[in-house]
């Protein structure tokens, strides 16, 4: 009897331990779910602060957030802003309002240079050229730099100083540099894309080279139909200095878009098409692309199935690039026909994060997560935009910090009705 009693006691003890462990896992999972928060950092009014934020955000080492608004500002030509965390709140500071002649309608994300200055592009504005945009501001766009005020400036609203580094003419040098953020190399050169212009008006990849007297612009590649044309935002680079991008049309026998690589060499830059999209069922890469630590490429595509799209992965087998579909959206195109700036971003665990312009419980867009696993990728919606105070229709990719917090913008909605800046703590 004693031996049997001891055996029952041990079994009960083990079952109790298992029950406690299970309960702790449930509590931990619930705590993780509750820990996820969505916070609006700023709601745009459409006035001096700007309107319609279309670009991904940029973070500095101190945790400050920088971004652009496509419209609004002083004369409606757009603005550049900064958000700084103070205690439990965020302080919004306008840095620059575009005047048209110095650029207008910024769409691309900002780049923080090694000198601490901000570098960016505008889709229109600058010196007048014969560019037919249909926008209220003339000009083919500019590359600009913003310099912070002197350290002895005692006014929190001290404006930053803008310098126009280059005015596009709309010819061989390119037209409308709204296709993604600038990228830099170790020598301080800047690289970007235009969606039009070039030798065949299909867009260019250009290089900005610093010199003692200023900057020199050169088109390092002018797109032809076989390359993939109308480049979607924007370029990304690897540690070897190669540039990757996508063309919304052209390429191969189908003409439904490409993913390409530009590689520097002794005699210039050479372009290789990594993948040509077929028109059925997968077509038209949209939005920017992302690169993980293993060198795999990710992006969104349109599709003729249910008029919806999805998210693809390209992996290098050593003999070519293979495409896999990680997720199919079911109700709408993920970008609703707009150029969507910025590609997917990744956390330290390999989880992928991105946004949709439509989709979601309210049809106003989502922030979603894809998690890799043995059985494939698991799709999770982190936030469904309602069109109310939380915003609507995020049109730009996300930015992630070292703690895994996500920052982004929604083009519409918010208390002011002109879009929001938001933060998600997963």
- Min mean pLDDT across 40-49, 176-185, 387-396, 398-407 is at 176-185
- More confident call, 19 vs 321: 321
Q: Does position 135 have pLDDT exceeding 90, yes or no?
A: no
Rg (CA), the chain: 24
Q: Assess if residue 297 is contained within a domain.
A: yes
Q: Does residue 286 register a pLDDT over 90?
A: no
Provide the 3-class DSSP secondary structure of residue 23: helix
- Out of 62-66, 122-126, 265-269, 336-340, least confident range: 336-340
Q: Which residue has the higher pLDDT, 19 or 112?
A: 112
> What is the pTM assigned to this prediction?
0.88
Residue 238 CB neighbour total at 10 angstroms: 12
The domain tally of the chain equals 1
Tell me, yes or no, whether 410 lies in a domain: no
Return d(Cα 367, Cα 194) in angstroms, integer. Answer: 28
Q: For tokens 């757009």, what's the residue?
A: 78
The reported pLDDT for the residue numbered 161 is 94
pLDDT in tens, 144-163: 999 988 776 766 667 799 99
Query: Regarding predicted confidence, which is higher, 335 or 147?
Result: 147
Return the closest-CA partner of residue 355 out of 390, 307, 314. Answer: 390
Is residue 327 situated within a structural domain?
yes
- For 337, residues 6+ apart whose C-beta sits below 8 A from its C-beta are none
DSSP character for 104?
B
353 has pLDDT over 70: yes
Q: Is the peptide bond before 234 cis (omega within 30 degrees of 0)?
A: yes
The answer on pLDDT for 13 being more than 70 is no
- Which pLDDT does position 216 carry in this prediction? 96
Query: Does a structural domain hold residue 146?
Result: no
- pLDDT at 382 (0 to 100): 96
**What is the reported pLDDT for 306?**
54
Q: For residues 56 and 408, is the Cβ–Cβ distance under 8 A?
A: yes
Mean pLDDT of 35-53: 93
Provide the 3-class DSSP secondary structure of residue 16: helix
Residue 256 included in any domain? yes
* CA distance linking residue 291 with residue 313, whole number of Å: 10
Mean pLDDT (whole number) for 41-60: 96
Residue 14 has pLDDT above 50, yes or no: no
Torsion of CA 389, 395, 399, 404, to 10 degrees: 60
pLDDT tens per residue, range 319-332 = 899 999 999 887 65
Cα separation, 289 vs 297, in Å, equals: 7
- Average pLDDT for the chain: 86
pLDDT of residue 339: 47
415 located within any domain: no
Query: Residue 4 — pLDDT band, cuts 50, 70, 90?
Result: very low
User: Encoding tokens for residue 93?
Assistant: 């500071």
Q: Give the domain range for residue 235.
A: 225-339
Q: Minimum mean pLDDT among 1-10, 240-249, 365-374, 389-398: which range?
A: 1-10
What is the average per-residue pLDDT within 258-280? 93
Query: With 60 as the cut, is the pLDDT of residue 132 above it?
Result: no
Q: Is residue 300 part of a domain?
A: yes
pLDDT at position 421, please? 98
Q: How confident is the model at residue 1 (pLDDT cuts 50, 70, 90)?
A: very low
Contact predicate 252/276, CB 8 Å: yes
Residues paired with residue 315 on neighbouring β-strands, in sequence order: 322
Provide the percentage of residues in the chain whose pLDDT is more than 70.
85
210, part of any domain: no
**409, β-bridge pairs:** 421
Find the range with the poorest average confidence among 19-28, 72-81, 171-180, 348-357: 19-28
């Amino acid at each position: 009897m004693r031996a049997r009693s001891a055996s029952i006691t041990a079994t009960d003890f083990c079952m109790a331990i298992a029950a406690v462990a299970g309960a702790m896992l449930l509590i931990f999972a619930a705590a993780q779910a509750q820990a996820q928060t969505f916070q609006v950092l700023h709601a745009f009014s459409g006035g001096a602060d700007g309107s319609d934020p279309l670009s991904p955000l940029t973070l500095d080492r101190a945790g400050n957030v920088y971004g652009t608004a496509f419209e609004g500002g002083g004369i409606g030509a757009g603005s550049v802003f900064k958000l700084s965390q103070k205690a439990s709140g965020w302080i919004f500071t306008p840095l620059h309002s575009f005047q048209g002649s110095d650029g207008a309608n910024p769409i691309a994300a900002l780049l923080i240079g090694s000198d601490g200055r901000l570098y960016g592009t505008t889709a229109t504005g600058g010196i007048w050229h014969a560019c037919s945009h249909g926008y209220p501001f003339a000009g083919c766009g500019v590359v600009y730099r913003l310099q912070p005020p002197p350290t002895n400036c005692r006014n929190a609203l001290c404006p930053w100083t803008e310098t126009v580094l280059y005015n596009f003419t709309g010819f061989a040098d390119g037209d409308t540099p709204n296709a993604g953020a600038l990228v830099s190399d170790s020598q301080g050169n800047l690289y970007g894309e235009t969606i039009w212009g070039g030798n065949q008006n299909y867009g260019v990849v250009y290089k900005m080279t610093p010199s003692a007297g200023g900057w020199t612009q050169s088109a390092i590649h002018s797109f032809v139909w076989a390359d993939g044309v109308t480049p979607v935002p924007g370029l990304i680079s690897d540690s070897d200095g190669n540039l990757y991008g996508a063309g919304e049309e052209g390429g191969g026998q189908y003409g439904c878009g490409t993913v390409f690589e530009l590689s520097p060499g002794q005699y210039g830059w050479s372009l290789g098409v990594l993948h040509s999209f077929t028109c059925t069922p997968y077509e038209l890469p949209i939005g920017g692309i992302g690169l993980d630590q293993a060198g795999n490429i990710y992006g969104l595509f349109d599709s003729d199935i249910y008029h919806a799209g999805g998210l693809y992965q390209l992996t290098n087998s050593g003999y070519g690039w293979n495409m896999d579909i990680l997720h199919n959206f079911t109700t709408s195109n993920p970008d609703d026909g707009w150029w969507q700036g910025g590609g997917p971003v990744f956390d330290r665990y390999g989880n992928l994060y991105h946004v949709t312009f439509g989709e979601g419980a309210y049809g106003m867009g989502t922030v979603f997560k894809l998690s890799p696993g043995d059985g494939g990728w698991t799709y999770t919606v982190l936030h469904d935009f309602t069109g109310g105070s939380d915003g609507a229709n995020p049109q730009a990719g996300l930015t992630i910090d070292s703690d895994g917090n996500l920052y982004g913008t929604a083009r519409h909605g918010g208390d002011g009705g002109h879009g929001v800046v938001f933060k998600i703590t997963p």
